[in-house]
Structures are given as structure tokens and as C-alpha cells.
């Protein structure tokens, strides 16, 4: 850190917050797994200015403490940082309230990361804000996993819908086959033989669809083709049988 910033940082960390041992406060911030920044209270540019950054901040952003101290946290923001989030942040801080939200920030190498962001005021004995303390937790992986889970759930819903559609279509086809076969069969033996042949035709259709489910094959069209072929074959067999008699 620079000399003047060291003084501000030490003064900030050495304050007793609610009777807390300042040495314990310092150890806790240095050992924390989340990035912690402490800034001056002024909100108008060039403020607020960073007076302290813990080691986790360096691990998260790639910026050393020396590179961060004396700058506004705005240097971590960029084109992908949502303006609405920043407007809400400014409104909360201007009213002396804590802020909690999510935002896209930028590392030193230019890559982005998503943070869960908590900023809360540090006040003196008179209740005046002396500093802001910001805690940033990287939730990039968490949100990406949630996105993958959502896509998987959506895909599963589509598959279940397609399965339901195909089952219903198959049942309707079987019913139609049974009804059509009953209308055209003279005996129980004819009915059994013709229905068996037509069900085999339906099985071939379903096999074709299963081999290439993404081809957009029309179940109704293929069933009709197979049935016409099957019925024609049945007609040929009937003609041959009559000729032999």
C-alpha cells in the first residue's frame, strides 16, 4: 500500500466495532474466503476510494492490494455490469442503507465473474458513516450450474412431452387398427391374422421412428403407408386363396 493509504487502512481496521477486538477484526478479514473491500464514505466521484483490500480480493480479481488501494471500486465494472444494479446500489448507499445484489465484475486479465455483493456502512459513536465495507462472493460457477440444471430440466420436460405424444399416437393407431380390422374381417381367424399383420406393420413404423427420432417423420403417414402395403398384401393372399379353391 501507499503511505497515506496505510494510515487510512490501519485507522479503519483498528476501530473497535461494537467492542470487537480490532486485532481479531483484522485477522478475520485477512483470513476470510470472500473478497473484502473497505472504502471511504463519499459517494461522488472520485470516491468512494478503497482503503483496504484483503488477500481473497487479490485471488478473485488478480489485482494486488497496492493496485486497488486509492481507487474507486468502479474500476472493476464494465460494459456487462448492469446499470440497474448500480442505480439501486447508489440509491441504497445514498440513503445510508445496506445493499445486497448480484453484479458482473472484471478481473485484471479482462475476464468476467459474477458476484454476490453485500455493502454495509461502518458508523462511529455518533452514528455517522465513516466507511463502507463490501463483501464479494464469486458465484459464477453456482449460476452456471443452475443454468445447466434448468436446461436439463427443460430438456427432460420436452422429452416427457414427446414420449406422452408418441404413446398417445400409438394407442390411437392400435385402436384404429383394431376397429378397421374388425370392420373388414369375416371370421375370428381372419381378424386375428389381419390384426397381427397390421400390428407388425405398426411395429416397423415405430422402429423407423426410433432409429431416427429427429427426422420429423410423421407417424400417421408411415402407418398409412404400411397399412396400405399390408392390406394390399392381404388382398393378394385372399385372391390367391380363392384361385386355388
Q: What average pLDDT does the structure give for the chain?
A: 80
Report domain 22-139's class: alpha beta
Instruction: Quote the CA–CA distance of 89 and 223 in Å, as a whole number.
Output: 62
Please state the rounded mean pLDDT for residues 70-78: 96
Q: Helix (H, G, I), strand (E, B), or coil: what is residue 78?
A: coil
Lowest-confidence region among 2-16, 37-51, 139-153:
2-16
pLDDT-above-70 percentage for the chain: 77
- Given a cut of 90, whether residue 104 has pLDDT beyond it is yes
Spatial CA neighbour of 129 closest among 99, 96, 98, 100 = 96
Position with higher pLDDT, 210 vs 27: 27
Residue reference for cell 448480484: 102
SS3 107: coil
Closest CA to 105 of 84, 68, 79: 79
Q: Is the pLDDT of residue 3 over 60?
A: no
Does the pLDDT at position 243 exceed 70? Answer: no
Cβ atoms of 28 and 34 within 8 Å: the answer is no
Question: Does the pLDDT at position 70 exceed 90?
Answer: yes
Q: Please give the backbone phi and psi of residue 51, each rounded to the nearest 5 degrees, phi first.
A: -115, -10
List, for residues 159-195, the tens digit of each pLDDT value. Answer: 888 778 777 877 787 777 788 777 777 788 877 877 7
List C-alpha distances in Å: 190 to 49, 90, 184, 237: 92, 83, 9, 12
Q: By the 8 A CB rule, do 99 and 89 touch? A: yes
Provide the residue ranges of all domains of the chain, joining segments of one domain with +. Answer: 22-139, 145-234
- What are the distances in angstroms from CA 29 to CA 6, 35, 106, 170, 197? 16, 9, 22, 65, 78
Mean pLDDT of 118-138: 95
Question: Which range, of 99-103, 209-213, 214-218, averages the lowest pLDDT?
Answer: 214-218
Task: Report yes or no: 48 and 73 within 8 Å, Cβ to Cβ.
Answer: yes
3-state SS string over 3-63?
HHHHHHHHHHHCCCCCCCCHHHHHHHHHHCCCEEEEECCCCCCCCCCEEEECHHHHHHHCC
Give the SS3 label for residue 64: coil
What is residue 174's predicted lDDT score, i.e. its pLDDT? 78
Decide: 54 and 29 in contact? Cβ < 8 Å: yes
Instruction: Name the nearest CA neighbour of 102 among 86, 91, 90.
Output: 86
In this prediction, residue 6 carries a pLDDT of 46
pLDDT tens-digit profile of 226-238? Answer: 555 555 555 544 4
Comparison of pLDDT for 68 and 18, the residue scoring more: 68
Residues contacting 119, CB < 8 A, separation 6+: 89, 92, 93, 98, 99, 100, 132, 133, 134, 135
Q: What is the mean pLDDT of residues 76-84?
A: 96
Average pLDDT of the segment spanning 209-213:
66
**Rama region for 62: left / alpha / beta (φ>0; ψ in -120 to 50; rest):** left
* pLDDT at 5 exceeding the cut of 50: no
Amino acid at each position: 500500500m501507499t503511505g497515506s493509504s496505510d494510515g487510512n487502512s490501519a485507522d479503519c481496521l483498528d476501530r473497535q466495532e461494537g467492542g470487537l477486538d480490532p486485532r481479531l477484526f483484522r485477522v478475520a478479514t485477512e483470513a476470510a474466503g470472500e473478497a473484502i473491500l473497505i472504502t471511504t464514505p463519499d459517494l461522488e466521484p472520485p470516491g468512494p476510494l478503497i482503503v483496504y483490500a484483503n488477500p481473497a480480493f487479490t485471488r478473485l480479481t488478480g489485482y494486488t492490494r497496492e493496485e486497488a488501494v486509492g481507487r474507486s471500486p468502479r474500476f472493476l465494472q464494465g460494459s456487462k455490469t448492469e446499470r440497474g444494479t448500480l442505480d439501486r446500489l447508489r440509491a441504497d448507499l445514498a440513503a445510508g442503507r445496506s445493499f445486497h445484489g448480484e453484479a458482473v465484475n472484471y478481473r485484471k486479465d479482462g475476464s468476467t465473474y459474477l458476484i454476490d455483493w453485500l455493502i454495509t456502512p461502518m458508523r462511529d459513536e455518533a452514528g455517522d458513516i465513516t466507511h463502507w465495507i463490501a463483501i464479494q462472493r464469486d458465484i459464477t460457477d453456482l449460476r452456471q450450474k443452475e443454468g445447466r440444471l434448468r436446461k436439463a430440466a427443460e430438456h427432460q420436460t420436452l422429452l416427457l412431452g414427446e414420449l406422452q405424444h408418441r404413446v398417445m399416437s400409438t394407442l390411437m393407431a392400435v385402436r384404429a387398427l383394431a376397429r378397421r380390422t374388425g370392420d373388414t374381417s369375416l371370421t375370428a381367424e381372419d381378424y386375428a391374422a389381419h390384426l397381427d399383420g397390421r400390428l407388425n406393420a405398426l411395429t416397423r413404423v415405430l422402429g423407423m421412428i426410433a432409429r431416427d427420432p429427429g427426422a420429423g417423420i410423421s407417424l400417421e403417414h408411415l402407418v398409412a403407408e404400411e397399412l396400405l402395403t399390408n392390406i394390399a398384401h392381404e388382398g393378394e393372399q385372399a385372391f390367391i386363396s380363392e384361385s386355388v379353391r
